[in-house]
Amino acid sequence: MILRIARKEIRDLVRDGRFRWSAVIVTVLLTTSAALGWRSWRELRAEQARAQAEARNDFDEQGEKNPHAAAHYGLYVFKPKPPLSFVDPGVDPYTGVSVHLEAHRRNEVGNRPARDATALQRFGELTAASVLQLLLPLLIIFLAFPALAGEREQGTLRQVLSLGVRPGTLIWGKAVGLVVALSLIVAPVLALGVSVVVLGSAESARTWPHALAMLAGYVLYLGIFLAVALLVSMRSRTTRVALVVLLGFWILNAMIAPRLATDLARRTVPTPSSLQFTEAIRRDIKAGVDGHDPEDSRIERLKQETLKKYQAETVEDLPINFQGIALQAGEEYGNSVFDRHYGALWTAFGRQDTMRKALGFLFPTLAIRELSMALAGTDNQRSRDFAESAERYRRDLVLTLNRDLEQNGADLGFMYQAGPELWRGMPEFRYQPPALHASIQDQTMAWAALVLWLSVTVGLVCRSTRTLRVD
Amino acid sequence: MLLKRILRHEVRVLSADRTLLAVGLLLAAVVGYGVFNGVSWAAFQRLTLREAGREEAARYETLREQIGSPGEGRGQGQGVPADQVGLALGARYAAMPPGPLASLVIGQSDLYPYYALVTTANRQSALAGDELENPTHLLSGRFDLGFVVVVLYPLVILALTYNLLSGEKEQGTLVMVLSQPLDRRTLVLGKVLARGLVVMGLAAAISIGGYFLAGGPATREGISRLALWLTLVVSYGAFWFALALAVNALGKSSATNALALAGTWFLLVGVIPALASLFVRVAYPVPSRIELVQAVREASDRAKAEGPSLNARFLEAHPELTQGQAEANEFAIQSLAVQEASEAEVAEVLDRFESQLGHQQNLVDRFRFLSPAIAAFEALQDVAGTGAGRYTHFAAQVDAFHVRWRAFFRPRILASQPIRRDDLALIPEFAFQEEPLSKVSRRTLTGLAGLLLPTFLIGSLGMTAMRKYPIVG
């Protein structure tokens, strides 16, 4: 019986001009956005690899110089674009793409691509993710709002029920029909996307499980909208009321919730201005964390300790280069200051993110947004992970150079020069993104929100079948 | 006369209906929240600029101590090397304070820098810094009055107008009303006017309230901008009323009207801007900054490798800098020559960025006519001074200031002439020149045309179709 109702529903939909038009529009938008996303991913990927190789080459070929001068010259590293960013570019346009690794300073990952775009981007970009998150739910609403309210309005609901069809059967039939109709629209594009993911990239072994998890997330999300649409359609007297309520739900989720969450999070967990942040770091390095241990006295103490350790009278008598030791000590002090300030900043950002995820229990669109970005590797967490990884590399780099100065430059001071073998000896910087289970674990709250929403709405649909009114 | 009676009747009906009260309260609440957010953002910016000023003042205090006064023992007025002052110790902030309407739209001001630390280092580094912000916040955008006006205000209008005539038809009252000697166009005009006065009056009143609550000045400049803002808000509202009227004139049921209007709203506010943005980027792709980073580095490496011949060329090209003094600072010449050579090389790459972005903006300016939402969005940002226009204006001033800065320091650096106490007062200072109102209003008026044109077109089409409106069936 369910199948018969589903078949009738599908036939109804396919004969409706609304359905055909929406199918064409959604297919075109989804294909275009994914294809362009794919193209720009490939371009950026190639460019990133090229620039990374060139930057490394510049570092290797800098000729003979003092290791500390080389540490000032430094190395640029570039953030790789994850493959699934073609589905969901996430925050990538709003985070930097490159960072200069050098001595003494922790630089921000800079050059946000969003600054090289017009204000139009702030309306929201057309991406596969935005089609899936915003347009498809709207399509579900447009197709499903008359499901029962329409039958009730026309009086056919009374007829159908009088034939002995149980309300539960009717609803499930309608649901199956809608699901099949929607799959007709989405399946071709999905097949295309899957083939791209599997065939198109060298890292498909890694991408594949992420794509699957992402798909599962979107199925849950779209299921929520279908259940809500059916629920509202069941309980509304007229199609007009059903439509207005559902549109309200969509607008609240798609348009209002993200911005509401932004301002709520900023207000609850304020972050310092860039000026305050850099000033605080500068002050702490210069005057000591508690303000009572200035840089000069730290160096003087280090000098006395080193002299005592080697039982030498003056710095010149030391068997090692004191500059190397002093520089490394300064570096380590700076690192502890960076750790403190960046730790606090990232904790604040993390709390803002958690707040947004928690709001996902109220607005499922917020939950899927976080989930989708995380699985695509384009969320805040990933950009933080990249920044930390680059910073770890910077510390290794500077440490290696300072050690060389300390051990090999004993009696030459700053006149000591090292050669290309030292530069070439540094291992390559390779960013290792976190594993799948970490990305999924990180989003426990978003998953929970989606599952909860789906089970509650489906539960309500089931309960409403018992009290279905014919008029 | 008749119109007035319809108006009065409609207002009475609307006020009896709780919908209007609910909608009005909701609108007031979201507008209030929007203004509140805008106000705190502008306050944050002002605070940061004050802190920057304090930081600069403290730095100058230290510098003054370091220089020492001519009479004191320490320093003996020897001064501090000019390159250190120009590069770091005496660096000055160039600030763009938030404009009078900044609290109304946050716009692009969360993305573009609003101050720059100008030094003798290269030009692009001054404006390269970003304000610290959670990237997801930049992606989602803020809940400000601009968002409320562009996105939510049309919904309020549509919620009140989607069943302008269809509602009365479905109730069966339309036949009774039109059995009176009354043109249906007069009736519909009265209905639109009544709702228009209420909604747009509310929007205008709240905007004015928001402006003064946010501490907007009662200067000519501020009031003129506010007047432009109100014109935009009213015209944008008029477009949505015209659209609702035209859809109503087709004579479909209330549910169909709601569906059609909601679809059009999403098309104009969501789909068309996103498509336009995509098209703009495909038509004039801006290269990745990755390329620029590498270009800058390689240019400066090449210049450094060139060494003495570069220095000689530099001195030849700038006889004014050494002023015939032979004992110019070798190291300073070297670094200035490298800087200049690499900047000349990078300028080409930078130009490509800027020209592509310029092309994009031109295209966007034309795309305004595709969707009133784009036109309103751009124009509101322009009036508030939080869009690309004012930022470009600021960036040009920073550039000019950077030139002045170098012109002051370079000769002193080359002549190894230190900065003395008397020189401190001569160091250039930045004063932001507000974009002339005439320029802003010219841009805004084009946007206004993008709002009024479709309004008249759709409105008159709707009024014409209204003549054939089926009263029954």
Q: What is the ipTM of this complex?
A: 0.91
Band of pLDDT at residue B320, cut at 50, 70 and 90: low
* H/E run at residue B63: helix B18-67
Interface of B with A in 367-406 (CB under 8 A): 367, 373-374, 377-378, 381, 387-388
**Interchain contact B358–A (C-beta under 8 A):** no
**What angle, 0 to 180 degrees and rounded to 10, lies between the N-to-C axes of helices A444-466 and A322-359?**
0
Q: How far is B142 from chain A (nearest CA, A)?
A: 5
Please tell me which residue of chain B has the smallest CA distance to A89: B139
Provide the pLDDT confidence category of residue B322 given band limits of 50, 70 and 90. low
| DSSP reduced 3-state for A99 | strand
Return the percentage of chain A with pLDDT > 70, whole number: 98
- Which residues 183-242 in chain A show a CB within 8 A of chain B? 238-240
CB contact under 8 A, A120 and B273: yes
Split at pLDDT 50, 70, 90, the class of B323 is low
Would you call A259 and B135 a contact, using CB atoms and an 8 Å cutoff?
A: no
Phi and psi at A100, nearest 5°, equal -95, 120
How far apart, in whole angstroms, are the C-alpha atoms of residue B380 and residue B226?
Answer: 10
* CB-based contact, A304 to chain B, within 8 Å: no
Band of pLDDT at residue A256, cut at 50, 70 and 90: very high
Question: What is the pLDDT, as a whole number, of residue B75?
Answer: 45
Give the pLDDT band of residue B233 (cuts 50, 70, 90). Answer: very high
Q: Which residue in A120, A238, A239, A253 has the most chain B C-beta atoms within 10 A of its own C-beta, making it the best mutation to test that interface?
A: A120
Rounded CA separation B122/B293 (Å): 13
SS (HEC) of A102-170: CCCCECCCECCHHHHCCHHHHHCCCCHHHHHHHHHHHHHHHHHCHHHHHHHHHCHHHHHHHCCCCHHHH
Question: Residue A240 is nearest to which of B112, B254, B274, comparing CB atoms?
Answer: B254
- Exposed, middle or buried, A335 (CB in 10 Å: 0-12/13-18/19+)? middle
Q: Decide if A119 and B288 are in contact by the 8 Å CB cutoff.
A: no
Contact B288 A120 (CB under 8 A): no
Q: At what angle do helices A167-200 and A146-154 cross, to 10 degrees?
A: 150
Question: Cβ of A17 under 8 Å from any chain B Cβ?
Answer: no
Interface membership of A95 toward B (CB under 8 Å): yes
Q: Using a CB-CB distance cutoff of 8 angstroms, which residues of chain A are in contact with residue B142?
A: 259, 262-263
Whole-Å CA distances, A308 to A294, A317, A325, A331: 22, 12, 14, 22
Q: Is the pLDDT of residue B452 over 90?
A: yes
pLDDT in tens, B60-89: 999 988 887 655 544 455 788 888 888 888
Residues of A in contact with B274 (CB under 8 A): 123-126, 130
Contact A119 B155 (CB under 8 A): no
Q: Which of B140, B150, B272 to mutate to test the interface with A (most CBs of A within 10 A)?
A: B140
Residue B316 CB-density burial (10 A; 0-12 exposed, 13-18 middle, 19+ buried): exposed
**CB–CB contact B141 A90 (8 Å):** no
CA distance A307 to chain B (A): 32
| List of chain A residues whose C-beta atoms are within 8 Å of the C-beta of residue B258 | 240, 243-244, 247
Chain A to chain B Cβ contacts (< 8 Å): 202
CA distance B422 to chain A (A): 28
Whether residue A230 has pLDDT greater than 90: yes
Distance CA A142, CA A18 (A): 8
Any chain B CB within 8 A of the CB of A248? no
The pTM assigned to this predicted structure is 0.91
Contact residues on chain A for B155, CB-CB shorter than 8 A: 251
Higher pLDDT among residues B48 and B305, named by residue: B48
Give the gap in angstroms from C-alpha B140 to the nearest C-alpha of chain A: 6
Backbone angles phi, psi at A165, to 5 degrees: -70, 130
CA separation for the pair A121, A114 (Å, rounded): 8
Average pLDDT, chain B: 86
| Nearest by CB: A36 against B47, B131, B282 | B282
Q: Which residue of B has its CA nearest to A95?
A: B135
Chain A hits for B33, Cβ within 8 Å = 263
For B356, the token pair is: 């592509």
pLDDT above 90: percentage of residues in chain B: 38
Do B258 and A125 count as a contact with CB atoms less than 8 A apart?
A: no
- B339-360 average pLDDT score: 85
Cβ <8 Å between B138 and A114: yes
- In the prediction, which pLDDT does B410 show? 87
> How sure is the predictor about A447, in pLDDT bands with cuts at 50, 70 and 90?
very high
How close, in Å, is residue A55 to chain B by CA atoms? 7
CA of A98 vs chain B CAs: smallest distance (Å): 7
Contacts of A266 in chain B (CB under 8 A): 134, 137
CA nearest B297: which of A430, A73, A29, A355?
A73
Q: What is the mean pLDDT of chain A?
A: 88
Contact between B388 and A119 using a beta-carbon 8 Å cutoff: yes
Using an 8 Å CB-CB cutoff, list chain A residues near B277: 117-118, 120-121, 123, 125-126
B207-220: per-residue pLDDT in tens?
888 888 877 788 88
- Determine the distance from the C-alpha atom of residue A84 to the mean position of all C-alpha atoms in its chain, rounded to a whole number: 11
- Å between B375 CA and nearest CA of chain A: 11
- Report whether pLDDT(B8) > 90: no
What is the Cα–Cα distance from B459 to B456, expressed in whole angstroms?
Answer: 5
**What is the full DSSP assignment across A232-271?**
HHHH-SSHHHHHHHHHHHHHIIIIIHHHHHHHHHHHHS--
Q: Between A76, A97, A247, which is nearest B262 by CB?
A: A247
Q: What's the confidence (pLDDT) of residue B371?
A: 92
Q: B114: pLDDT confidence band, cut at 50, 70 and 90? A: very high
Across the interface, whether the CB atoms of B297 and A55 are under 8 A apart is answered yes
Distance from CA of B133 to the nearest CA of A (A): 8
| The pLDDT of residue A296 | 80
pLDDT number for residue B73: 47
Lowest pLDDT segment from B39-48, B118-127, B401-410? B118-127
**Minimum CA–CA partner of B136 in chain A:** A91
Which positions in chain A touch B388 (Cβ < 8 Å)?
118-119
Instruction: Say if residues B111 and B138 touch (Cβ distance below 8 Å).
Output: yes
Report whether A250 contacts A163 (CB < 8 A). Answer: no
- Residue contact A119–B254, C-beta within 8 A: no
Q: Name every chain B residue with its beta carbon within 8 A of the beta carbon of A349.
A: 134
- pLDDT per residue over B393-439, tens digit each? 999 999 999 999 999 998 888 888 888 888 888 999 999 999 999 99
Judging contacts by C-beta atoms under 8 Å, the chain A residues touching residue B55 are 275, 279
Given a cut of 70, whether residue A218 has pLDDT beyond it is yes
Q: Which of A427, A419, A420 is nearest to A399 (CA)?
A: A427
The H or E element containing residue A363 is: none
User: Residue A126 and residue B274: Cβ atoms within 8 Å?
Assistant: yes
Residue type (1 letter), A101: L
Radius of gyration of chain A from its Cα atoms, rounded to whole angstroms: 30
Q: What is the mean pLDDT of residues A138-151?
A: 90
- If pLDDT is split at 50, 70 and 90, which confidence band does A289 have? low
A252 Cβ under 8 Å from any chain B Cβ: no
Residue B236: CB atoms within 10 A of its CB come to: 28
Contact of B1 with chain A, judged by CB distance below 8 Å, is answered with no
